[in-house]
Amino acid sequence: MKGSTTLAKRRQRASAICAAVFLAPVIILMLVYFVYPIVATFANSLTRWNGISPEKIFVGSYNWNKLIHDAKFWKAFGNNIKVMAISLIVQMPIGILLATFLDAGGKKFNIFKIIWFLPLLMSSVAVGYLFHYALATNSGIFTAISELFGGGKIDLLGNQGTALYAVIGVICWQFIPFYMVYYMAGYSSIDESLYEAAIVDGATRTQYVTKIALPMLVPTIKSAIVLSITGSLKYFDLVYVMTGGGPGESTELMATYMYKESFSKYNMGYGSSIAGGMFILITLIAGVTMYVMNRNKED
């Protein structure tokens, strides 16, 4: 009835509908859980609001002024930077080493693969409690070792000088497996024939890794670095479980500070500006990092 073009048109229309149907859930999810919260956070940051009242009082830039002059926020930011720096220094090399080891070993090292992957399978809250006991001053691992050699008790989490580093250690323990798997995936995407060609050309295994595999892994490393930076700047759960930001403010991170302001102190307006500040700082740092890394590539 409609002639010979119908089939093509129908096909076009069908694929348009199909695309819409497949995209709609993602777009709706993005709008509801991503775009709307960000917009709402910035809107709330301009108000004084206790988080429960239907009434929000518009206070303009008051919260942002307060944020810029808030020593506690900047201390928390400093702690985040420490977490970020140590995470990069510790997690990246160990992750690459483990991945290289497993990649070289093949199937016979599967047992290591499983054991090393275990920490990532546990929930952060479980890891937090586990290490709360493992690092405990009374009967914890370090105290037990110290007492074995005639030393005193070691208080890692209750000491303002060491608490942050103890927590960072646990964060590394938890996330090294993630980067290990990430780099393993990077290795497996390198074509087998490159390895064969290198060996045929007389390269040793070490030469293959340092001269061929690692350079080819650079894009993976770059994205891992960005992941690690953003991850450690917005870190929350383990710290909240293990120390709650204490003792004092020694392990306070931006995210735990935001949580406390919003939900414990009922300052949802100010909490929102902390969240907004985090958003800006993290975007800035991640953006600069990506820019610097990509610029080097073009040189």
For another protein, the closer of residues 113 and 260 by Cβ is 260
Among 30, 197, 218, 263, binds another protein (CB under 8 A): 263
Counting contacts by CB under 8 A, is residue 75 touching another protein? no
Window 23-62: residues binding another protein (CB under 8 A): 24-25, 28-29, 31-33, 36, 40, 43, 48, 50-57
Alpha carbon distance 111, 133 (integer Å): 27
* φ, ψ dihedrals at 58, nearest 5°: -75, 125
For another protein, the closer of residues 100 and 262 by Cβ is 262
Q: CB of 24: closest distance to another protein in angstroms?
A: 6
Q: Binding mask 108-127 vs another protein (x if CB under 8 A, - otherwise)?
A: --------------------
From the CA atom positions of the chain, what is the Rg in Å?
A: 25
Among 84, 96, 98, 136, binds another protein (CB under 8 A): 136
Q: CB of 142: closest distance to another protein in angstroms?
A: 11
Alpha carbon distance 278, 268 (integer Å): 15
Three-state SS string over 109-126 comes to HHHHHHHHHHHHHCCHHH
Alpha carbon distance 181, 197 (integer Å): 26
DSSP 47: E
Alpha carbon distance 80, 85 (integer Å): 9
Q: Binding mask 228-247 vs another protein (x if CB under 8 A, - otherwise)?
A: ---------------xxxxx
Q: Other CB atoms closer than 10 Å to residue 63's CB: what's the count?
A: 26
Among 7, 16, 17, 144, binds another protein (CB under 8 A): 17
Among 83, 99, 156, 167, binds another protein (CB under 8 A): 156
Q: For strand 57-58 and strand 47-48, is the pairing parallel, antiparallel, or unpaired?
A: antiparallel
3-state secondary structure of 215: helix
Q: Binding mask 171-190 vs another protein (x if CB under 8 A, - otherwise)?
A: --------------------
Q: CB of 45: closest distance to another protein in angstroms?
A: 14
Q: Which residues pair with 58 in a beta bridge?
A: 47
The amino acid at residue 239 is V
Among 78, 249, 285, 290, binds another protein (CB under 8 A): 249
Candidates 173, 165, 175, 184; CA nearest to 251 is 165
Q: Which residues pair with 57 in a beta bridge?
A: 48
Q: CB of 252: closest distance to another protein in angstroms?
A: 9
Alpha carbon distance 118, 174 (integer Å): 9
Q: CB of 293: closest distance to another protein in angstroms?
A: 37
Could you list the residues that contact another protein (CB under 8 A)? 17-18, 21, 24-25, 28-29, 31-33, 36, 40, 43, 48, 50-57, 132, 135-138, 153, 155-160, 163, 243-249, 260-261, 263-268
